[in-house]
Structure 1
Amino acid sequence: MTLDQLLAILACALLAVLAVFQSALIAGAPLGHLAWGGQHRVLPPKLRIGSAVSIALYALFAYTALAKADLVPALVNRGFTSVAIWVLTAYFALGVLMNGISRSKAERLLMTPTTLVLAGLYLVLAL
């Protein structure tokens, strides 16, 4: 197993944990203080839709990491996948900033390091 493959698998595992978390939010679990700015203990319908969209995006992000590591066939050319990995690295870096300034202390403490790890994994994949 190559380093890229290991990193892609780790990124997918972390994204899967986030997907389970978002699923719990959709189901009405009182974990809203950990997401979406932490202003709601139980998410309102619009934010639950946002959580569903997040799950779909996580799947796309995971696929991109797996394609970059040659663990799944790329649906587009390798150049596009390389650019997409850089875009996702920037997305997660922005997530570090956004989670770091959240009004919710719990969100800052949990999601900032989570997005930092994802940013790091995608950065190494990009390199």
Structure 2
Amino acid sequence: MITALIGSVSFFAVAIFYILLAMGLPYGDFAMGGKYKIMPKQMRVACAISVFIQLIAIIFILQTGNVISIDALNTIAKGVCYFFAFYLIVNTIMNVLSKSKKEKLVMTPLSFLTAICFLITAMNG
């Protein structure tokens, strides 16, 4: 399903971005309200944990969209996609309310696109 592919690619891009943040690169003005240009050590840990969660979400959207097949995930994949759709809609709202102009311009549409992909994939999965 095309929405599963688009959603997984967009979330993978976000995961790469969060890896860069976790490594201490100066892209913090695009994330978490733009408060820090370089994430403090505790925030870097949060970024690294976020990457792990994003990669799990990618597996679930690909499973629900029938791009991959992991039998053990069949019973929960659709529900997990609905969860991430809801989470990403909330995330989109938070990005819109961000004080960071960069976060608003870049992360808001990316989060919204990914939310829609998770939602459509869950509805059709």
TM-score (ref. length: structure 1):
0.90
Matched, 1:97 2:90: no
Query: For 2:23 and 2:77, how far apart are their aligned partners in 1?
Result: 33
Cα distance per residue 1:64-121 (max 9 Å; x no partner): 0011022222353534211111111101111111111111111111111111000111
Letter in 2 for 1:68: T
Which of these residues, 65, 71, 74, is aligned with residue 69 of structure 1? 65
Match of 2:43? 47
Partner of 2:116: 120
* Gap regions ≥5 residues in structure 2: none
- Following the alignment from structure 2 to structure 1, what is the Cα–Cα distance between the partners of residues 7 and 93? 19
Q: Do 1:36 and 1:47's aligned partners in 2 also have CA atoms closer than 8 Å?
A: no
CA distance in 1, matches of 2:56, 2:111: 16
Matched AA of 1:104? S
What are the ranges of 5 or more consecutive residues in structure 1 without an aligned counterpart? none
What is the DSSP-based 3-state SS (H/G/I as helix, E as strand, rest coil) of the residue aligned with 1:43?
coil
Structure 1 CA distance for aligned equivalents of residues 102 and 6 of structure 2: 24
- Distance (whole Å) between structure 1 residues aligned to residue 93 and residue 72 of structure 2: 30
Number of corresponding residues: 123
35, 49, 54: which one pairs with 1:58?
54
